[in-house]
């Protein structure tokens, strides 16, 4: 049973691989770009995934308050939140380095500048009050650029696909790694079941300028 729960990470379901293929074709062949911010950014995907459990999440700025029923243990809640934080932080860290196609780089630089200005000038549109599960500060005390508030499902799937082999080989003797593997498997199953909601080629792309 445990092996079956983890198989999705190393081998994305065919339906999600089809999204990756459509995304690649849209950017490289049809000269389209993902509209930013996405209708369903990664922050929202994670929040809606967590909402399927017997728990409620409320944000007050950067502080997250979690309440849960008897159907889920406190340790399970902690593991889920920590795993979502790891995915969020890693995506924000590697997107610009590893996950973009060449035609997307100018768009990425524009979004990066906009988000950095938001960090410097304050949050006029209350972006930071929206669901966000990543770290509120980096080791150097700077505020992270919240790319997960902008990019959606195709870029998240690129992350999973890019690191599937390395992730599968990580030793599960660490409680955090084991929890991350279980959470990721469940999360991908959730995405697969809701893929028509979270991805639409017609809705989510626009012509490159």
Q: Each residue's pLDDT tens digit in the chain (209 positions)?
A: 344 444 445 578 999 999 999 999 999 999 999 999 999 999 999 999 999 998 888 876 667 788 888 888 989 999 999 999 999 999 999 999 999 999 999 999 999 999 888 877 765 455 445 677 888 776 666 677 899 999 999 999 999 998 877 776 666 667 878 888 889 989 999 999 999 999 999 999 999 87
Instruction: Quote the number of domains for the chain.
Output: 1
Instruction: Answer whether residue 118 is part of any domain.
Output: yes
Q: Is 33 contained in some domain?
A: yes
- Whether 205 is covered by a domain: the verdict is no
- The pTM for the full model equals 0.86
91 lies in some domain: yes
d(CA 92, CA 114): 15
Name the β-bridge partners of 33. Answer: 206
Asked whether residue 206 is assigned to any structural domain, the reply reads no
Q: Which domain holds residue 20?
A: 14-199
Is residue 207 domain-resident?
no
CATH at 43:
1.10.274.30
Cα–Cα separations (whole angstroms), residue 103 to 31, 38, 107, 112, 154: 8, 17, 8, 15, 15
- Collapsed DSSP state (helix, strand, coil) of residue 73: coil
- The reply to whether 6 falls in a domain is no
In a domain, 7, yes or no: no
């Amino acid at each position: 049973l445990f092996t079956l729960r983890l198989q999705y990470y190393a081998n994305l379901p065919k339906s999600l691989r089809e999204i990756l293929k459509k995304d690649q074709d849209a950017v490289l062949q049809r000269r389209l770009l993902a509209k930013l911010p996405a209708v369903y950014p990664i922050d929202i995907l994670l929040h809606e995934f967590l909402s399927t459990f017997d728990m409620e999440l409320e944000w007050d700025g950067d502080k997250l308050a979690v309440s849960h029923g008897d159907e889920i243990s406190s340790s399970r809640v902690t593991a889920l939140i920590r795993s979502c934080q790891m995915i969020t932080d890693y995506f924000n860290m590697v997107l610009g380095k590893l996950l973009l196609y060449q035609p997307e780089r100018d768009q990425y630089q524009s979004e990066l500048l906009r988000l950095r200005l938001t960090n410097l000038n304050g949050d006029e549109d209350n972006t930071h009050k929206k669901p966000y599960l990543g770290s509120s500060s980096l080791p150097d005390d700077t505020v992270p650029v919240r790319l997960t508030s902008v990019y959606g499902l195709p870029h998240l799937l690129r992350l999973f696909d890019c690191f599937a082999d390395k992730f599968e080989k990580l030793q599960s003797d660490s409680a955090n790694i084991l929890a991350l593997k279980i959470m990721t498997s469940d999360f991908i199953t959730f995405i697969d079941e809701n893929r028509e909601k979270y991805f639409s080629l017609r809705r989510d792309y626009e012509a490159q300028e």
